[in-house]
Amino acid sequence: MKHEMTQENATCCSKSACKCPITGLPIHKVIFGAIMLTLFGLTAWNTVKINKIFSAQVALYGNEANMNEYLKITQTTGFMNNVKQELDVLKAKVGLSTEANSEETDTTETTTEETGDTKTVQSTEVVNTNVANGDAKWAANGQEAFTYFGLQGTPGNVVLNTKTGNYKAIGGAYPKDVFEKAVATIKAGEAQSDEAGQAGTLTQEQIAALLKGVHYYKNEGAEIVIVEYSDLLCPYCQRHFDNKTIESIVDADATVALVFKNNPIAQLHPTAPIGAKGAECAGQLGGSKAFYNFIAKGFTYSTFNNDNVTEIATSIGLDKAQFVACLNK
């Protein structure tokens, strides 16, 4: 018999509940159950995914306490304002970078014997910038600053009494009077933690490791040492250097020394490790004087490449071939 859709047939499901042929349950209950199972499944999957992401994030900071402290700092208004100011400075420099790069390219003009024409050729001495970017020293310096003194970012500074081990950390480009106060309290043995940074004590073994192989700006052997963790392309570090905040204290007090440690933050300044490597090579080849001469010139640049770092090196009297060889190892 041919089945026809009549008015009565068409309205049958509205008169009595339609049932699922498999479960025998009303069709609306089956649909509701399927929706709920799907929602529960998605919730469980998302929970597992979120837990994996959270665990991976915690691993980046070593433990959850470190991560929470980092997030607390980075969510403050002061930190956000500092980031905004640094980005503004970087944006302002973008227009200068292209021009500076074109001017700093190492080229040589030669005259051909056949025609007498002058042509420009690129330097054949090429720096492997991957070596600078992958140098383990940067991570070690950054970890040292955080582990010993709770310092994050640049510039990070610490005033240390090498005899007693007492120290006072100063996280940021604070004015000179803050450093003078820290020096005075460290000398008196009265340093306390404050908003600028923590106070504490290192062992003599830690101090020896901290100062192994460093370059002193002045007054090597002084009882008080100011250690500065810095990035040559960090705008705040550049301002800190231009103001001679620490240098002026060291110049006036023979009992205080300065040690500069490269801590380039490639996430913010991608070419900073090249400049840092250049400074380290300058120190290896020419000692502390060459190291700080390179630092002084390096702070005037807005970017580093395989040509301008060798330009800095030769301008301070270093042998170009030896310098390039150092950069590449």
Report domain extents, the chain.
Answer: 130-327
The three-state secondary structure class of 191 is: coil
Bigger pLDDT: 61 or 222? Answer: 222
Give the strand pairing for 118-122 and 107-111.
Answer: antiparallel
Cis peptide before 155 (omega within 30 of 0): yes
Classified by CATH at the fold level, domain 130-327 comes out as: Glutaredoxin (3.40.30)
Whether the pLDDT of residue 208 is over 50: the answer is: yes
Structure confidence by residue, pLDDT tens digits, 90-125:
555 545 443 444 333 333 333 333 333 333 334 445
Q: What is the mean pLDDT of residues 293-321?
A: 94
Nearest of 173, 175, 151 to residue 86 by alpha carbon: 173
Q: Give the burial class of 127: count Cβ atoms within 10 A of its Cβ; 0-12 exposed, 13-18 middle, 19 or more buried.
A: buried
Q: Quick one: DSSP state of residue 231?
A: -
**Does the pLDDT of residue 254 top 50, yes or no?**
yes
Average pLDDT, the chain: 79
Strand duo 256-262 + 224-230: pairing: parallel
User: Tens of pLDDT along 36-76?
Assistant: 777 776 666 656 655 655 666 555 556 677 666 666 666 66
pLDDT at 56: 60
Mean pLDDT of 228-254: 95
Least confident of 15-19, 291-295, 320-324: 15-19
CB 303 within 8 A of CB 100: yes
Given a cut of 70, whether residue 312 has pLDDT beyond it is yes
Q: What is the pLDDT of residues 255-271, one digit of tens each?
A: 999 999 999 999 899 99
3-state helix, strand, coil in the chain (%, to 5): 55, 15, 30
Q: What average pLDDT does range 156-179 have in this prediction?
A: 96
Q: With bands split at pLDDT 50, 70 and 90, how would you rate the model's confidence at 18?
A: low
What are the C-alpha distances in Å from 137 to residues 43, 45, 176, 273, 325? 44, 41, 28, 10, 18
Token couple for 125: 């001495």
